[in-house]
Amino acid sequence: MMKQPVRIVAQQQYPRCRLRRFLARSLDIALCSLLFTFITQIMGLLNAAQGGISVAVERLCVLLVALLLANAFCLTVWGTTPGKAVFGLHLETSKGGKPSFLDVLRREWQVLLYGCGLLIPVCSQICQWISYRQCANGAVSRWDEESPLRYTVRDNKKLRYAAFAAIYAAMLVAMLCLTELDYRMPHMGRLTVAELADNYNHYLKMQSNADLPAMTAEGQWEQDDFAPVLSYQLDGEGHIRQLELSMPYASSREMTGLPLEMKKAAATVASVMVLSQEGLFPRYWTTVRIKTMFTGKNARAIDSWSKAGVSVSSFTRPDIMQVVTRIRLE
C-alpha cells in the first residue's frame, strides 16, 4: 500500500491560522528570552535582577537583535522556527523553495516592528492585538503583503496545542529557576563580617540601588555620614551571631515608624542575611516580602519576625534615645 503524502491543509498564500501564528510567535519570543537570559547569566552580563531604565533598554535592544537573527537563520535553513514547528507552520517561496536570508530578515523585521511593537511593554500588546484582529477578519498582514513568501500548515491536530502548553510551562519553570539563581549570594550559610560585606555589595549591585552606600571588608559603611551604626556579635569561629543597626532620634520626635534610612538599610541587610541561608526557595519573593515588612503601610517602629532561621526585631531605647533593628541568627 502506498503511503499517503503529508496533507497540506492550507495551500493559499496566507492561511487563516491566526491563533496558531500568534501562539507560535509567542513561543519563539519566550524561548529566545529564556536562552538570552541564560547566556547573559553564564557570562555575567546584564544580570536579570538589575533594575534601571538604561539596563532595561540595553537588554531589550540585545534581545531584539538576537531574536531577529535567530528567527531569520531558522527560517532560512529549515523553513520554520521552534514555535512554528510546534504548530506545523512552514515558510517558503511562492514556488515551494527555501526563502533567502535577506527576504526572511526583511520580513522578520517588519513582524517585530508592526506586529510586536519592538517588544515594548503595552505597545507590543496593542500591536499584537491589532495584528490578530486583522488576521481574524481575513486581511493580509503588512509583512505578508510586501513579502514574496507564503505559509503552509501541516495539519489541524489539537495535540499541537497540548504540546505548546507543556513547552511553555517548562519554560516558565526554567525562567523561575534562572531568576532564583540571580538571587543566590556568593557566600552561603553562616557568614563572617567580610563575607557579609561581600554579599551585601553583590546584592546592592544586583538591585542597582544607589540610595545605600557599599560596605567595607570590616562591615562598616563606606559613606561615613550614613546614619545607622552597625555593630556585630560573633561566635567563637568568627561567624556573625547577631548584628544591630542603631541611630539616634530627637526626644521631641514621636516614633510612629522607623526612620527612612533605617528602613532601607535594615531591609537590605536582612534580605542579604536571609538569602545567604541554604535551601531557601523562592528567594525573589522572600526579598519582596522582607522589603514590604519594613517599608509597607503596616510597618511599625516596633516589630519582629523570623524567616529562614533569621529573626529580626525593631525597637526603641528611650534611655539612650535610639531606634534599633536587631538581626539575629537563630
- Tens digit of pLDDT at every position of the chain (330 positions): 444 443 333 334 445 578 888 999 999 999 999 998 888 776 665 554 455 577 778 888 989 999 999 999 999 999 999 999 999 999 998 888 889 999 999 999 999 999 999 999 999 999 999 988 888 787 788 888 877 888 888 888 889 999 999 999 999 988 888 877 777 888 998 999 999 999 999 888 877 655 789 999 999 999 888 888 999 999 999 999 999 999 887 654 445 556 778 888 888 898 888 888 866 666 666 766 676 666 655 544 445 677 777 888 888 777 777 888 888 887
pLDDT of residue 232: 95
Q: Which three cell numbers stand for residue 126?
A: 496593542
What's the CA angle centered on 193, arms 192 and 196, to 5 degrees? 85
Distance CA 246, CA 262 (A): 8
Cis peptide before 99 (omega within 30 of 0): no
CB atoms within 10 A of CB 204: 18
Task: Name beta bridge partners: 10.
Answer: 153
pLDDT of residue 10: 38
pLDDT of residue 51: 54
At residue 293, the 3 state secondary structure works out as helix
Distances (CA, A) of 196 to 185, 228, 267, 290: 10, 17, 14, 18
The helix/strand count (H/E) of the chain reads as: 10, 7
Q: Which three cell numbers stand for residue 69?
A: 537573527
Q: Which of 212, 147, 164, 136 is nearest to 26 (CA)?
A: 164
Residue 316 burial (CB < 10 Å; 0-12/13-18/19+)?
A: middle
pLDDT of residue 209: 57
- Segment 15-31, tens digit of pLDDT: 557 888 899 999 999 99
Q: Which three cell numbers stand for residue 247?
A: 541611630
Q: Which of 158, 152, 155, 151 is nearest to 7 (CA)?
A: 155
Which amino acid, 27? L
Please say whether the beta carbons of 230 and 286 come within 8 A. Answer: no
pLDDT of residue 11: 39
What's the CA angle centered on 307, arms 314 and 299, to 5 degrees? 40
pLDDT of residue 12: 43
Distance CA 30, CA 34 (A): 6
